[in-house]
Amino acid sequence: MSVPFGIIISGRPVDVSPQAITEAQYAFRIPPAPAFSHIVVFLLPGITLPPGAAASVYVQIPPSQDFKLLGAIGPGKESAIFKISGLKSATNVNQNAMLDDPTAQTGAVPQGDVVIGVSIEAEAQVAAQLATLQSGGQSNNAQLSSALVKLGSSPEGKATTKVLAQRIIGNAFNFLASFGSDTVPLKAFQDWWQKFEKKIDLDPSFLEREGAE
């Protein structure tokens, strides 16, 4: 199945490129700044979930490793608006418009990216989880939490933007220096850029590894 989901946050580009954890589980990693309070999760046009299936939507806010249920989308409700409030000073998560959550939770300022997890599950399972949520309980997805533990972990050990930029520049310098001349033709840079883009397409994380070339 093609990537079936997308998200919208006001003021940011539409994101239709989640990380596929499994064929039924997807994750969107969202920087907490600039601040946002609502998120739209939707099925992409032309996408149909398997018969008898719906998609549960979860949120993980660092430092917690748990994914809390926000609600669901599926046949007859292909999109939903969720409210994720208080990210500046606290963590208050409840669903807006599509489902009221009487169990708003408060926590610390998020240290790291907020992760939205979307999991394709049996409709009966989704309905049971929503019933628990509406009754004042909370439904966690331990399987999703486990599968995304690396996504939700602290950013220690991950390459910073500065380091990534230095590696990009180093990659270009090493390539262009191979010409052995102070003057490098524009076509040489274009060739490097095409090769660099191909590397990114084949292995998007290669720059995060030390010694990336």
| pLDDT given for residue 212 in this prediction | 53
DSSP labels, 150-167: HHHS-STTSPPHHHHHHH
Which one has a higher pLDDT value, 205 or 95?
A: 205
Residue 66 pLDDT exceeds 50:
yes
Q: Say which residues have a Cβ less than 8 Å from residue 109's Cβ, sequence separation at least 6.
A: 87, 88, 89, 90, 91
**Predicted TM-score of the model (pTM):** 0.57
Residue (of 25, 51, 27, 46) closest to 122 by Cα position: 51
Q: How distant, in Å, are the alpha carbons of 65, 81, 94, 200 from that of 203?
A: 26, 33, 36, 5
Q: What share of the chain is helix, strand, coil (3-state, %, to 5)?
A: 30, 25, 45
Helix (H, G, I), strand (E, B) or coil at 72: strand
Residue 71 pLDDT exceeds 80:
yes
Which one has a higher pLDDT value, 202 or 139?
A: 202
pLDDT digits (tens, 9 = 90+) for 93-150: 444 434 434 344 444 445 688 999 999 999 999 999 888 888 876 655 555 555 554 4
Q: Is 85 buried (19+), middle (13-18) or exposed (0-12) by CB count in 10 A?
A: middle
Which one has a higher pLDDT value, 61 or 9?
A: 9
Domain boundaries, the chain: 5-87+112-136, 161-210
Which one has a higher pLDDT value, 110 or 12?
A: 12
Which one has a higher pLDDT value, 25 or 177?
A: 25
